[in-house]
Amino acid sequence: MYQVGGEGSTVSAPDDAGFREFVTRQRSALLRTAYLLTGDHGQAEDLVQTALLKTYRHWTRVAGRGDPSAYVRRVLVTTATSWRRRLSSTEQVVEAVPDRGYDDLPPERSAAVVRALRDLPPRMRAVVVLRYYEDHSEAVTAELLGCSVGTVKTQASRALSRLRVALADRPSTCTTGELS
């Protein structure tokens, strides 16, 4: 079952075998991408659930166009950006945030990089995640984000510069060579 709203508000799992197969194949990768976009395991799960629900609503059209992965990733990015904009006006700064585990991340990813990613603006974070984590080309990243290749290049350059500065204080956990 996919929970949509509050208590008692659920939608049955999709009956479409193609959608089920897609979810089974892509769920882990989508969770990792969503985690890197949000920096929070719970939000990442909510983000993937929301993206999959939006995808399911249009599954016939999406699946008919070929590989639905690009569509779902675009929904992930736009939904994460939308959530962040909505929450930014209500967020409050706290002294400390409890350290969370990073079980869903591949072992080579350091906690310092994840913290630095979390501090990037949503658009820069999306570019970094899609270009360097998902390993999409500049053209595919631009298509997923609905922007030009030049914008992707600019955002990637600025994001990498910010990450280098943010990680300069942590040479033992991450080297700037990981960010090129």
The tokens describing 126, both together, are 């999306």
Q: What is the mean pLDDT of residues 161-167?
A: 86
Q: Which residue has the tokens 């970094």?
A: 128
The tokens describing 100, both together, are 């969370």
The reported pLDDT for the residue numbered 116 is: 86
Asked whether the predicted pLDDT for residue 22 surpasses 70, the reply is yes
pLDDT digits (tens, 9 = 90+) for 39-60: 889 999 999 999 999 999 988 8
> What is each CA distance from 39 to 26, 102, 108, in whole angstroms?
19, 10, 17
- The highest-level CATH class for domain 11-89+98-179 is mainly alpha
The reported pLDDT for the residue numbered 87 is: 60
The tokens describing 179, both together, are 């960010």
Tell me the percentage of the chain whose pLDDT exceeds 90.
Answer: 41
The C-alpha angle with vertex 98 and arms to 95 and 104, in degrees rounded to 5, equals 140
Asked whether the predicted pLDDT for residue 12 surpasses 90, the reply is no
Tell me the percentage of the chain whose pLDDT exceeds 70.
Answer: 71
Amino acid identity for residue 81 in this structure: T
CA distance 63 to 31: 20
pLDDT digits (tens, 9 = 90+) for 82-103: 877 766 555 555 555 444 444 4
The tokens describing 12, both together, are 């049955």
What average pLDDT does the structure give for the chain? Answer: 78
The reported pLDDT for the residue numbered 99 is: 45
Q: Which distant-in-sequence residues (6+ apart) come within 8 Å of 162 by Cβ?
A: 116, 119, 120, 124
Asked whether the predicted pLDDT for residue 11 surpasses 70, the reply is no
Each domain of the chain, given as residue ranges in start order, spans 11-89+98-179
pLDDT digits (tens, 9 = 90+) for 118-159: 899 999 999 999 998 888 999 999 998 999 999 999 999 999
Of 50-64, 93-107, 164-178, the least confident: 93-107
Amino acid identity for residue 36 in this structure: L
